[in-house]
Amino acid sequence: MRSSEEVKKIRLTDKIRVLNSGLFIVIGITIVFRSIYLLSGIYLLFPCVVGTGFIGLGIYRLKFVVQYLRDKQ
Amino acid sequence: MSTELSNTPTSTQLHHELRRDITVWGSYMWGYADVGADIYAALGLVIAAAQGAASLAFVVAGLVYIMIGFAYTELASAYPVAGGGNYFALRGLGDFWGFTAGIALLLDYTIDIALFAVASAGYINFFLPYLGVDPNHFILIIGSFKINYLWLLESLGLVFFLIWLNILGIKESSLFNEVIGVFDIIIESSVIIFGFLFAWKPELLVQQWQTSFPTLHQFMYGSSLGIISFVGLESISQAAQETKRPATIIPRTSITLIFTVFIFATAFSTLSLGVLPWQTFAQHIGDPIATLAHAIPYIGLIAGPVTALLGATILLISANSGVMSASRLTYSMSEFSLLSKWFDKVSPKYRTPVRTIVVFSGIGILEILLAFLTPEAMDTLGNMYAFGATLGYLIVFVSMIKLRFSDPYTPRPYRMPFNIKIPYKGKAVDFPVLGVLGFLGVGMVLFEVILTHKIGRIAGPAWVILGILYYIYFRKHNNMPVTKSLKRDWEAHQIDVLTSAEEYDLVEEYKLALKERDEELRRSEKNKIDR
């Protein structure tokens, strides 16, 4: 269990991680939508791997924000 | 299991001779420093070989890498010591295979130092025209050799700088990695985000797939080079002994790193082929990321210098990881009597293994000098890089599977997914199905390396053979068995390792498992006597 002092502390690296993770989700959605609009069949494979990968990575990285908010409560 | 304690480092040694001061972020950055840089060197080489199917080559290599990553995560969290693959093979397969895995990985670390120092210097040269200096003017012709001596001297200077940095100690170099790593992650993400938003043309990606699909030989060469984009998890294992609460930190760090790197590598190749024709990257093997960034609208004008700076820094921290890993691996090998004790010496002033840092960085320097005598220094070094990695990983997979059977009592905070329970000596053992698939995958890549890498298939095995000859001499000279292993009390050692790592819960769990095993043995002995 982390102390309340630790919970209050938001470092610059945490802020960068949140921003970066949010951008990963945005870019993932953009890649998937652009690919679906323009491509079909096997050619959708790589853009979809990359797009969904970024969305997943962004969500995974943002899990710690949820943890932070829970700890704060 | 032997109860004789011999040639096994004690907890006192483990605790006092190397410091545990790497945090979650530091551990992640050690890995990222290695893996994040690999794509800067490998992207151009892979696209030049696999052409329109470069993304597929990265995906194939990446899937193998994910399985390697899972295996390393399991082993590094269960055995958090500095040896990495060498230690796992030593525990699972004995001294000889431990040495073989170690020497293969050592080849990789020395190449890591050489390749990334050369690549980093190459990115530094990007700035010379801005200063009115043409780097192509610094060519020295000796017989049939054409040597770019400015590039050579820059590379050597960088290696000497890293030697000095590592002699100062892990804390200093870890901080160095972390600061530069944050900067690199931001820039790398920006290139991907701006690239996909403003420059990526999915139809170009499809067109290149349809019109420039490689031959099988080209694809095999490309995908085997692709594996070098993913070498880096070993660094986390190397740093495990110096990581706080490794059983908790290593799985978190590794799993995040595995998927981050896989997505980034696939993203860079998919983005590249959707922005520019593959031939453009084939012409810019030295600076593919800068070429890609330059083609992105809005940021393209400044993207060249920024990505060149990015390339130079991230490649430098990757070379730094190589120095760190090589020195710690040799330290570990000498601790277990696989190398001379001469390497065991820790500087009383800096508390770092100075001799191993100097000797194996020195080999890196020698490799740089030899590589510059070939037509393409980076290609020569890259060729050898894949051999060492795949051979080492192959042995690690076998060790991981073997340890599931021979050492089921060691607590494993993380296990590779997809296991089936099979009975073994009256006990149910989790058989790693993914471990077998990983072994086959790495075996396939090693086969590709031997089949398609002209220099790697000769120089790589030559290095291993030379290493084995040294091993035979060293063991015979010191009256130790060559093909057999020294007797070691691994159980006491495991308790020492976990205790020095402050993993007290795991120590208790391990002791309990051993106690249950001993009671069971006593019961079965008693039953035999009663009968």
pLDDT tens figures, B295-305:
888 887 787 78
Work out the average pLDDT over B467-496: 91
Burial B490-504 (b: 16+ CB within 10 A, else e): bbebbbbbbebbebe
CA atoms within 13 A on the CB side of A23: 19
The bridge status of strand B427-432 relative to strand B139-142 is unpaired
For the ranges B77-91, B125-139, B469-483, the one whose mean pLDDT is highest = B469-483
Tell me, rounded to whole angstroms, the distance of Cα B411 from its chain centroid.
Answer: 24
Residue type, A65: V
pLDDT score of B45 more than 90: no
Work out the average pLDDT over B81-107: 89
Task: Judge whether A49 is closer than 8 Å to chain B, CB to CB.
Answer: yes
Quickly list H helices, B285-299. Answer: 288-294
| CB B201, CB B364: distance < 8 Å | no
**What pLDDT sits at residue B238?**
64
B432: helix, strand or coil: strand
pLDDT score of B8 more than 60: no
Phi, psi of B166 (to 5 degrees): -75, -30
Binary contact (A50, B209; C-beta < 8 A)? no
Task: Judge whether B211 is closer than 8 Å to chain A, CB to CB.
Answer: no
Binary contact (A61, B256; C-beta < 8 A)? yes
Of B192, B202, B262, Cβ closest to residue A39: B202
**What pLDDT sits at residue B356?**
84
Task: Judge whether B129 is closer than 8 Å to chain A, CB to CB.
Answer: no
Burial B403-438 (b: 16+ CB within 10 A, else e): bbebbbbbbbbbbbeeeeeeeeeeeebbbbebbebb
- Chain A residues with CB under 8 Å of B263 CB are 50, 53-54, 57
pLDDT score of B2 more than 50: no
B345 vs B196 pLDDT, higher one: B196
Task: Judge whether B213 is closer than 8 Å to chain A, CB to CB.
Answer: no
CA-to-CA distance for B315 and B184, rounded, in angstroms? 10
Binary contact (A60, B56; C-beta < 8 A)? no
Tell me how close the Cα of B202 comes to any Cα of chain A, in angstroms: 7
pLDDT score of B20 more than 60: no
Residue type, B303: A
DSSP assignments along A26-47, one per residue = HHHHHHHHHHHHH--GGGGHHH
Of B182, B192, B266, Cβ closest to residue A16: B182
List, for chain A, all residue ranges whose pLDDT scores fall below the cut of 50.
1-4
**What pLDDT sits at residue B313?**
83
Tell me how close the Cα of A6 comes to any Cα of chain B, in angstroms: 15
Task: Judge whether A48 is closer than 8 Å to chain B, CB to CB.
Answer: no
Give B487's DSSP letter.
P
**What pLDDT sits at residue B159?**
94
Which of these, B78, B75, B83, lies nearest to B328 by C-alpha position? B83
pLDDT band at B131 (very low <50, low <70, confident <90, very high): confident
pLDDT above 70 covers what percent of chain B? 89
A67: helix, strand or coil: helix
| CB B497, CB B428: distance < 8 Å | no
Binary contact (A46, B55; C-beta < 8 A)? yes
Work out the average pLDDT over B195-207: 88
pLDDT band at B236 (very low <50, low <70, confident <90, very high): low
> Best residue in B263, B264, B272, B273 to probe A by mutation, most A CBs within 10 Å?
B263
B24 vs B50 pLDDT, higher one: B50
- Chain A residues with CB under 8 Å of B202 CB are 34-35, 38-39, 43, 47
CA-to-CA distance for A27 and B271, rounded, in angstroms? 12
B86: helix, strand or coil: helix
Of B55, B189, B197, Cβ closest to residue A20: B189
Binary contact (A46, B200; C-beta < 8 A)? no
Surface of B (247-266) touching A: CB under 8 A: 256, 259-260, 262-263, 266
Between chain A and chain B, how many beta carbons pairs sit less than 8 Å apart? 60
Residue of chain A whose Cα is closest to the Cα of B181: A13
Give B336's DSSP letter.
T
In this structure, what token pair is assigned to residue B432?
């790693």
Contacts 24+ apart (CB under 8 A), A48-52: A49/B59, A49/B266, A50/B263, A50/B266, A50/B267, A50/B270, A52/A28
pLDDT in tens, B456-472: 788 889 999 999 999 99
Binary contact (A46, B185; C-beta < 8 A)? no
Tell me how close the Cα of A26 comes to any Cα of chain B, in angstroms: 9
**A41 contacts: CB under 8 Å, gap ≥ 6:** none
> Best residue in A36, A46, A62 to probe B by mutation, most B CBs within 10 Å?
A46
B408: helix, strand or coil: coil
Give B338's DSSP letter.
S
CA atoms within 13 A on the CB side of B279: 3
Of B56, B196, B206, Cβ closest to residue A39: B206
Of A30, A35, A56, Cβ closest to residue B197: A30
Binary contact (A50, B186; C-beta < 8 A)? no
The average confidence (pLDDT) of chain B is 83
| CB B316, CB B41: distance < 8 Å | no
CA-to-CA distance for B101 and B520, rounded, in angstroms? 35
B37 class by beta-carbon count within 10 Å (0-12 exposed, 13-18 middle, 19+ buried) = buried
Find the helix packing angle between B246-273 and B24-50, rounded to 10°. Answer: 30
pLDDT in tens, B54-76: 989 999 999 998 999 999 889 98
Which of these, B61, B34, B529, B89, lies nearest to B322 by C-alpha position? B34
In this structure, what token pair is assigned to residue B153?
């001297």
Sign of the CA dihedral B68, B71, B77, B79? negative
| CB B333, CB B85: distance < 8 Å | no
Per-residue H/E/C for B214-243: CCHHHHHHHHHHHHHHHCCHHHHHHHHCCE
Binary contact (A50, B270; C-beta < 8 A)? yes
pLDDT band at B13 (very low <50, low <70, confident <90, very high): very low
What are B455's strand-pairing partners? Answer: none
pLDDT score of B170 more than 70: no
CA atoms within 13 A on the CB side of B412: 18
Find the helix packing angle between B54-78 and B433-452, rounded to 10°. Answer: 130
Of the given ranges (B36-40, B50-54, B96-100, B404-408), which has the lowest mean pLDDT?
Answer: B36-40
- Chain B residues with CB under 8 Å of A39 CB are 202-203, 206
DSSP assignments along B12-61, one per residue = HHHHHHS---B-HHHHHHHHHHHHHHHHHHHHHHHHHHHGGGHHHHHHHH
Find the helix packing angle between B300-335 and B149-168, rounded to 10°. Answer: 50
